[in-house]
């Protein structure tokens, strides 16, 4: 820790000349915070100002870091979340104390559930007022304890360089996640004697990147001996950048792959070895394959209940399970693991690639091809505007490099099923928490991360109205996001569940007072296009893509549209509904 001013004045070994020279090198905690973040590679912060953060915002005027002002603190976190997912860097967001910090909680929980690296800065009341229930005081570190990877309440400005350095390291390494730094107002205003961060030293923080070679050798042997293997991939594959080596592996040994919702993009949608998404709204072929396989190689997944239905004793019961994950806490937590491999997915797969030999699985492929033929993803093309038609057109017209952010609901599942994704970091969605309102700010974060990329938002009229104010953000920062609104006048997924499992006793799902979304968009300065039949889809998408600014495409779809296939809650994956019928 550096010396305080008082220490300097009474230290007989320091002259007044030393004090004068030293004072030229001092700066307040807010400036040091920004300087250290800039040193960590931070280019942009998503934030919302307030009283306790004014010192930081004052310092921001002289910082090379750019600032994006969303219209709500929760959307600031979602935007930083998507920025991290698309860029592969640690996202940064900030808000003031009290209600500002409290508004961030949902966004922090969302990032925690999906293992997204964030550093969250919150303002706090001065240290002498902590615990006194002062104006705009909340215990944000206590509130977020279960949904952060780590958190700091900074009480000494001299600690800022070290804490910021540690926060970025913790957020972005091992299993990524959000780290919160709570900064009292007086700490940000205090002078820091030595603004340079010390050498990083976190003896208690450890993670394993390289997998155990003996266990990898055992996994290779199990694969060679298997008759019906399946690779099951999740978000960890994308986070680690393991997509390319995964593709090389599955092509070398010619084995089938299924993905989670978070794993979409780990293998291109059109890859011949991909059976589709597994789980509640996955393909029937993917679910049957997991149920019948004799070897399940799980990479970067946590066996979420949307895949297993929470029935660990009825999931892949015939399979030997190989689980590769950087977080040892996930291995064996839900499903019994026969060969555990703790390590970074990319490094483990690279070593596994060198050791594997192709198994003899011709009969298994014959069965899989038969299932794919018997149970394709399909929908009724009856002349009405179908959401699947829109998504397929988006895939054709948008090209291979477009980024798609989704909100949560039926449109999310249709996008997962029918939008072609070619690479990781192109499909951005709230998977673990399922946060309505995530999609629009996520599209903003994605567009900031990739300014020259085409970014689509796929949303519904329920989700869109939870963050509709972000239309202003797209205009202010000239973000050419193309908003595809699946407008059915209801809370579609809730209605589907009530229709299928509650005897069509519909309750509180009608959105009767929806506005004219085209007029709302135009009021913000956003171009609006209305689509009411399938013949209008291609022209509307081309017009939107050609337009240099943000566009809202209001697509009128039927409230009777449902997502199939669907696994009823609590049922085994073999009981999935919605085949060719």
- Residue positions annotated with a catalytic role: 73, 135-136, 185, 493
Query: Do the Cβ atoms of 297 and 232 come closer than 8 Å?
Result: yes
Cα gap 328→324, rounded to integer Å: 9
Give the residue from 72, 165, 116, 42 showing the smallest Cα distance to 449: 42
The runs of H, that is alpha helices, within 303-361 are 305-308, 345-355
β-bridge partners, 457: 405, 483
Does residue 150 sit in helix, strand or coil? strand
Cα gap 2→194, rounded to integer Å: 6
Does residue 229 sit in helix, strand or coil? strand
DSSP characters over 251-296: HHHT--EEE-STTTTSS-TT-TTEEEE-STTS-HHHHHHHHH-SEE
Query: Do the Cβ atoms of 447 and 473 come closer than 8 Å?
Result: no
DSSP characters over 79-100: HHHHHHHHHSSPEEEEE-TTHH
Tally the residues of the chain: 581
Q: 216 to each of 96, 97, 352, 360, how far by Cα in Å?
A: 48, 48, 6, 20
Quick count: other Cβ atoms within 10 Å of Cβ 58? 15
Q: Which residues contact 236 (CB under 8 A, 6 or more apart)?
A: 115, 175, 242, 299, 300, 301, 325, 326, 345
Cα gap 546→537, rounded to integer Å: 14
Q: 68 to each of 44, 65, 79, 441, how far by Cα in Å?
A: 7, 10, 9, 11
Structure tokens at 465: 């109205």
Does residue 510 sit in helix, strand or coil? strand
β-bridge partners, 274: 257
Does residue 111 sit in helix, strand or coil? helix
Cα gap 421→398, rounded to integer Å: 11
Q: 287 to each of 294, 305, 398, 419, how far by Cα in Å?
A: 14, 14, 30, 19
DSSP characters over 523-566: HHT-EEEEE-SGGGHHHHHHHHHHSSS-EEEEEE--TT----SB
Give the residue from 448, 479, 472, 452 showing the smallest Cα distance to 43: 448
Query: Do the Cβ atoms of 469 and 72 come closer than 8 Å?
Result: yes
């Amino acid at each position: 820790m550096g010396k305080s001013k008082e220490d300097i004045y009474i230290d007989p070994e320091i002259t007044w000349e030393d004090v004068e020279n030293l004072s030229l090198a001092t700066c307040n905690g807010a400036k040091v915070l920004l300087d250290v973040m800039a040193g960590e590679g931070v280019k942009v912060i998503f934030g919302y100002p307030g009283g306790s953060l004014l010192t930081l915002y004052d310092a921001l005027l002289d910082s090379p870091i750019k600032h994006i002002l969303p219209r709500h603190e929760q959307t600031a976190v979602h935007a930083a979340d998507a920025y991290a997912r698309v860029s592969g860097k640690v996202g940064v967001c900030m808000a003031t104390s009290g209600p500002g910090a409290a508004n961030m909680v949902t966004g922090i929980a969302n990032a925690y559930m999906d293992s997204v690296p964030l550093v969250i800065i919150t303002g706090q009341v001065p240290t002498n007022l902590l615990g006194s229930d002062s104006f705009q005081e909340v215990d944000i570190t206590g509130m977020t304890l279960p949904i952060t990877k780590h958190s700091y309440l900074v009480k000494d400005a001299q600690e800022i360089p070290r804490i910021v350095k540690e926060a970025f390291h913790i957020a972005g390494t091992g299993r990524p996640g959000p780290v919160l730094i709570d900064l009292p107002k007086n700490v940000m205003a205090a002078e820091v004697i030595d603004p340079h961060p010390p050498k990083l030293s976190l003896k208690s923080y450890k993670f394993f990147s390289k997998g155990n070679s003996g266990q990898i050798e055992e996994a290779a042997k199990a694969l060679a001996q298997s008759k019906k293997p399946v690779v099951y991939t999740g978000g960890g594959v994308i986070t680690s950048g393991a997509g390319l080596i995964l593709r090389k592996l599955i092509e070398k040994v010619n084995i089938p792959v299924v993905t989670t919702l978070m794993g979409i993009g780990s293998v291109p949608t059109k890859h011949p070895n991909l059976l589709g998404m597994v789980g509640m709204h996955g393909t029937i072929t993917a679910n049957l394959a997991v149920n019948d396989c004799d070897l399940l190689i799980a990479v970067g997944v946590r066996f979420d209940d949307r895949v297993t239905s929470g029935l660990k004793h009825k999931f892949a019961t015939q399979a030997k399970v190989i689980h590769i994950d950087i977080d040892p806490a996930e291995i064996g937590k839900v499903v019994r693991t026969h060969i555990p491999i703790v390590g970074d997915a990319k490094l483990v797969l690279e070593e596994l690639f060198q050791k594997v030999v192709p198994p003899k699985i011709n009969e298994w492929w014959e069965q899989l091809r038969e299932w794919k033929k018997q149970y394709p993803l399909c929908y009724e093309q009856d002349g009405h505007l179908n959401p699947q038609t829109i998504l397929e057109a988006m895939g054709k017209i948008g090209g291979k490099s477009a980024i798609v952010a989704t909100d949560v609901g039926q449109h999310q599942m249709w996008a997962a099923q029918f939008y072609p994704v070619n690479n990781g970091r192109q499909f951005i969605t709230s998977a673990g928490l399922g946060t309505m309102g995530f999609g629009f700010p996520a599209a903003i974060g994605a567009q900031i991360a990739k300014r020259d990329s085409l970014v689509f938002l796929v949303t519904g009229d329920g989700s869109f109205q939870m963050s509709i104010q972000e239309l202003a953000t797209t205009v202010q920062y000239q973000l050419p996001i193309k908003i595809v609104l699946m407008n059915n006048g209801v809370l579609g997924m809730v209605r589907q569940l009530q229709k299928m499992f509650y005897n069509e006793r519909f309750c509180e799902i009608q959105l009767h007072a929806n506005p004219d979304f085209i007029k709302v968009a135009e009021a913000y300065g956003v171009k609006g296009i209305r689509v009411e039949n399938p013949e209008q889809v291609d022209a509307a998408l081309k017009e939107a893509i050609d337009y240099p600014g943000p566009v809202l495409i209001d697509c009128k779809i039927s409230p009777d549209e449902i997502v199939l296939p669907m696994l009823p809650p609590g049922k085994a994956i073999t009981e999935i509904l919605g085949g060719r019928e």
